[in-house]
A = this chain, B = another copy of it.
Amino acid sequence: MAGKDLPVSPLALPLPEMPPVAGVRLGSGRAEIRYKAREDVTMMVFPAGTSVAGVFTKNKCPGAPIDWCRAALKGGKARALVVTAGNSNVFTGKAGRQTCSDTAKAMAELAGCKPNEVFLASTGVIGEKLPTEKLVAALPPLFGKLDDNGWAGAASAIMTTDTFPKGATRTAQIGDTTVTVSGIAKGSGMIAPDMATMLCFLATDAKVPAAALQAILAKGSQKSFNCVTVDSDTSTSDTVLLFATGSAKHKRVPAEGGPVLKDFTRAVHEVLMDLALMVARDGEGAQKLIRIDVTGAVSNKSAHRIAMCIANSPLVKTAIAGEDANWGRIVMAVGKAGEPADRDLLSVGIGGTWMAREGGVVPGYDETPVIAHMKGREVEIAVDLALGRGKATAWTCDLTHGYIDINGAYRS
Residues in A lying within 8 Å of B, measured CB to CB: 58-62, 88, 90-95, 125-129, 189-190, 192, 231-236, 312-315, 318-319, 321-322, 324, 326-329, 331-341, 343-344, 346, 356, 358-361, 399-401, 403-404, 407-412
Contacts and interface: CB of A to CB of B under 8 A. Distances in A.
A335 to B, nearest CB: 3
A346 B94 CA distance: 14
B236 A408 contact: no
When all copies of this chain in the complex are counted, the total is 2
A321 B404 contact: yes
A338 B10 CA distance: 34
Contact of A236 (B235, B331, B338, B339): B331
Given A60-B338, A321-B404, A321-B408, 11 more contacts: A60-B343, A61-B331, A190-B315, A233-B313, A236-B331, A236-B332, A236-B335, A315-B407, A319-B407, A319-B410, A324-B408
A412 B332 contact: no
Contact of A322 (B59, B91, B407): B407
A318 B360 contact: no
A197 to B, nearest CB: 15
A91 B314 contact: no
A189 B275 CA distance: 34
B322 A412 contact: yes
Contact of A360 (B91, B125, B322): B91
Contact of A95 (B126, B332, B360): B360
A338 B341 CA distance: 25
